[in-house]
Structures are given as C-alpha cells and as structure tokens.
Amino acid sequence: MKKFNARQFIPYFVLMVIIAVVLLTFGINTKNWNKLTYNELITELSQGNVTEIVTEEHKADGVYYITGKLKSYGNNDYFKVYAPLSENVQEELTAYYQNSEFKWEVSTNPENNSFLLILVNVVPLVIMAVIAFVLFSRLSGANKGSMDFGKSRAKLVDEGGKKFKDVAGLDEEKEEVEELIDFLKNPKKYNKMGARIPKGVLLVGPPGTGKTLLAKAVAGEANVPFYYISGSDFVELFVGVGASRVRDMFKQAKHTAPCLIFIDEIDAVGRQRGTGLGGGHDEREQTLNQLLTEMDGFGANEGIIVIAATNRPDVLDPALLRPGRFDRQVTVSLPDQKARKAILDVHAKGKIFDKSVNLESLSKRTPGFSGADLENLLNESALLAVRRNKPAITMEEIDEATDRVLMGPAKTSRKYSDKEKMLVAIHESGHAVVGLKLKDAEDVHKITIIPRGQAGGYTMMLPPEEKMVVTTKDELLARITGLLGGRVAEQLFLGEITTGASDDFSKATKIARSMVTRYGMSDLGPIELEEQSEGVFLGRDYNKNRDFSDAVALEIDKEVQKIINSCYKETTRILKENEKLVKLIANTLVEKETITKEEIEELVTTGKLSSSSDESLKELKEEAKELGIKGYTKMTKEELENEIKNSTEK
C-alpha cells in the first residue's frame, strides 16, 4: 500500500487558507448601500425611521463611520454616513437612542485592536512567505542536479547480499577477480610482498552475460563500499562538469577506502580521442583525460579498485587500457551448456515446475542465450502459466517462451489464406529437409508456420554439439545450403518464387563473402581482403582505403557468386531426391501448424504421425464434457489433464 505523504497536500492547504483569509477580510459584497449625509441621518432619527445603527470611530481619518437600516429599507438595503469627529456625534446619537427604540452597536476599529491588526497585516505576509518557500523548495529539488554541477553521480550501493554463489556459470571469471577480494580484505599481505594489485579491471562481453552482477558479487564478497555509476553520468552539456564529477568521485572513494568503483558502459566516456568527424577537444574528451589522470594519481595500494564494463572494447582509447590503469581484462563470454544449466537452476528458485520439465535438456536447446535471456525465458514461462491458469510451469509454456524470446509473440489473429499457408509450409519444409538430409547441417528441432515478429514462419535448427571457437568450411557451406532451401522448394514444388527468402539471401551472402574476404576459403587463397567494419562515429568509414584493386573486387564477387550457385545446386539436388518428404512435412504443417523434433523424426521414419495422441485427446475431451468443464474444446491435452484432475479432487 502506498504510504501517506502529508507534504504533497501542503500547497492545497495553503491555497485554502488564502481563500479563507481573503473572504473573511474583504467579504463578499452583496449589500445595497445608500449614502446619506449626517444632517439627513439626524432628520431620520428625529422622525423615528432608523431601526439599527453601527458606529465605528476612525481617528486616523478623523471621521465616524456610521452604517444602519431604515424602516423603509429591504433586507439587503443599508445606509452609510461619514461624520467628522469634530461634531458632537456621540452625544447626539445617545440623546436620540434614549428617546427612540433602535438597535445601536459600537464596532471596534481594527486600528485599535492588536489581534485584528496582526491578522490583517502580518498573516498575509506569512502566507506569502510559506508559498514562496514551498515553491522554491520544489524548484530546487527539481533542479538539484543543475545546482550541483560538479558533484559525483556515483551511488554508494549496499551489495552485502550479493555473493559468488548468486553468480552462476562464470567460474573462470570469478577466479580472475578472487585476488581482488583477497587484497581488499588483507592489503598488508600484498604490501609486504611489494605486489601491485591491478588498479582497474575491465569486464568485456556481450550484453546480458553478467558483468554488472559479477562486479556486485566482488563487492559483496569483500564487504567493502561499492560505488556504482554509468559512463553517461559523467557527460553533460556544460563544459568541465564531467571532469569535475570524476574528481569528486575519486575524492569520495579515498575517504572510504578500501572500496570498489564500478563504471558501467564505460565506452560512453572512454572512446578514442581525436577520431570524431570534426576532431576537437570536446567535453567527453576532457572527462576521459581527467579519468586517466585520477587513475594515475592514486598509489598502487591505496585500496581503490576501479571495475568497468563494456561490450565495445574496440572503441576504447588505448591510453585507458595500458598497464597502470585498466591492467586486466576479463572476458565474460556467453555461457556454454554447463553454465546455462547452472544459470537456469539459479533463476528457477521460487518457481513451480511440472515434473515433465527438464532444465538439463532446456540448457542444451538454448545455445547462444545469455544469462539475461535465460532469466527472461523462465519469467515468460511463469507469466504464460499464470495466464493459462495452470498450477505449474510445463514444457508447453517453456517452448512458447523460447519462441517469444527468439522471435516475439505469436500473431494468432493473423489468418493465412489457403494458398499463402501452403507457400509458407513448402518454404519451411524446404529448410527442414535440407537440415535432415545434409551431412554437416544443424539438427532440426521445430518447424512452425505461425507468424512471429517479421517472420511468417521459421525452422529452429541447432548444432548437434556446441562449438565455442571455430567453424569448418563444410559447416558454413551447409548453413548456406540450408538457408537456400526455402527458395528452392518454392520454385520446385509451387512453380513460383516469393519475397519470403529475402532474409535467407542476406544471411547466405554475408557468410559467403566472409568466406572469401576474411576466412580465406576460396580460390583467391588465404588472404584477408576486408576487415570487420568500424562504427561510423569513429570517423573511419568515410575515408576508408581499399585494400584491393578493381580486378580483385571483381574476383571477390565471382567467388561469392560461385559459392552461392554451388550451394543452390546442392539444395536443388537434395530436395528433388526427397520430394515426398518435403510434401509430407508441408501437408502436416498445414494441418498442425507446428511440428516438434519427435514428430519430425516420426514422419521421416514412418511417413506419418501416429493417431494415438489424437485418440487420447478425444477421450480427455469426452471426460471433460461429462464433468461439465467449460471451454474444454479449446484446451490442449495438458490443460485438459489438469482441469480433469482439479475437478476430480473437488
């Protein structure tokens, strides 16, 4: 429940007080006033026409202020009279009051009443001061950053709860940083030996691999202050602010040493100097210069260790990576199968899984997934289970979550026409059959024609064994052959071609060109003709020198075309020899829309799918109908089993 905050109601309370004071002070004038002279008032008194009088003495103005009513007046009619103090007003009114019957009230002049004087003159000033205080306090809160330009944005975070046991799958990386923890705990041991502990450690790796989590675990294990800041927090519009914040950050750190400073996404401030399109010594470069100076400024064993993380080490300034600054680089790679299993075990805590869920097999089916991807996969699975009102997470939710992470949510509302459905089915079955029949191709795990993201369907293919470093030429050629399977199948079995293979061609062409220009896998020989392109922001692509002549460029294009044409012929041969299998898989896709690995193997082996699953599903629907379960016709087999079980227990 949200806590009550009285401060947010202060402006409204002040506004209400102002309105009340104005109304009480000035009132709402709804009376009709008739102005009389003093002589006319005396005449009315002598004739007995006055019913009430209110007198008020104003010494400062030298007058009596007299108001009242006559017998002939209505409810809202009043008279007012100004009489000089020099006249014997009080005595004359007293004489008429003794001989007549009218109501007489003597009002107190606010000038003579100290309380009213304070209320009228002091209270409005106090209210205005309160309003000004509230407004300025809010403005200063909103612009606190602009008032403290040079203050460090580094946050002192309590990471006592993060330990190495919370970081799964980074065994080698944890070994690299363990001596940092030992130094922070026992610095005298290193001082005695004369050893210099690294001043900075750079964590390098793809997004989501656990760089930030590893840094927090180091602080938690060492039990020292942990300062967290992003590289973008240094750079501001105002000149010199970033450098000032760097100085202030290290000043704070020296007061709390030994401690850790963690700079996330350091490439935002640590890019190479002098490589922009206009060059120049801009604000970012001043900030980087100050960071380099500060890292040189503190001694080897002062107890301050800087840990930085980036996924773009290629754009960092060389001066930042030299010994004495970031001495050590730790590469945090994508997890292998063993590491993925450990990560899944960590994120599976607190979730309810069905007995059919096997995290070991799931780890084998998710090569290339980062730790963040795996956490997102299990979270999506839990959300789907809740959405479907299931008591536990089943493999069905995990399969769906895997597809959602890779391709996006299924677009079930989009309906194919019969012709379009067959086109997509033939296209995907072409990919699948090449994967099934080609020696070095990847294993086919799933085929679907349900549209997701920008794809009308897709074939999930995974390597038979996970590789971390190298890929052979035959495997690259097999990958190109598999990518061309969709277009060849369309041309062979439908007699027409579609735009659905555009992404396949893009991937195949990139692989073929890399084989020629980077990997030396062509008749041009083992020569690197092209480097991996740099970012435009470095200012290098506009004036990039060509490392080859026009004649060699023509040869490169010919070699790329030669590889693509060779793979196209191989794809055509495979699909012609397996025409029946292509059509069988395509027809099954049109009927079922999604085929799993087990069903694919059954189609290849027996030429058909067993009807046992359909018969069992039919029996479950009959049982659900007898139990009166609503919506049973749209439920899956697992959903029917759970609903029948719950109904039976009740």
CA dist 53 and 104 (Å) reads 5
- Whether 428 is catalytic is yes
Q: How many residues does the chain have?
A: 650
The sign of the CA dihedral 443, 446, 449, 454 is negative
Q: Which of 176, 283, 380, 428 is catalytic?
A: 428
Distance set, CA 559 to CA 522, 532, 626 (Å): 7, 19, 67
- Count of CB atoms within 10 A of residue 281's CB? 10
Strands (E), 71-162: 77-84, 103-107, 155-157
Cβ atoms of residues 381 and 397 within 8 Å: yes
Rg (CA), the chain: 42
Distance set, CA 331 to CA 202, 272, 280, 335 (Å): 8, 20, 32, 12
- Count of CB atoms within 10 A of residue 357's CB? 19
CA dist 347 and 372 (Å) reads 10
Structure tokens, 520: 């030396």
Q: Dump the DSSP string for 332-386.
A: -PPP-HHHHHHHHHHHTTT--B-TT--HHHHHHT-TT--HHHHHHHHHHHHHHHH
Backbone dihedral region for residue 502 (phi beyond 0: left; psi -120 to 50: alpha; all else: beta) = alpha
CA dist 462 and 594 (Å) reads 17
CA dist 316 and 272 (Å) reads 5
Cβ atoms of residues 284 and 235 within 8 Å: yes
Cβ atoms of residues 603 and 609 within 8 Å: yes
Active site residues: 428
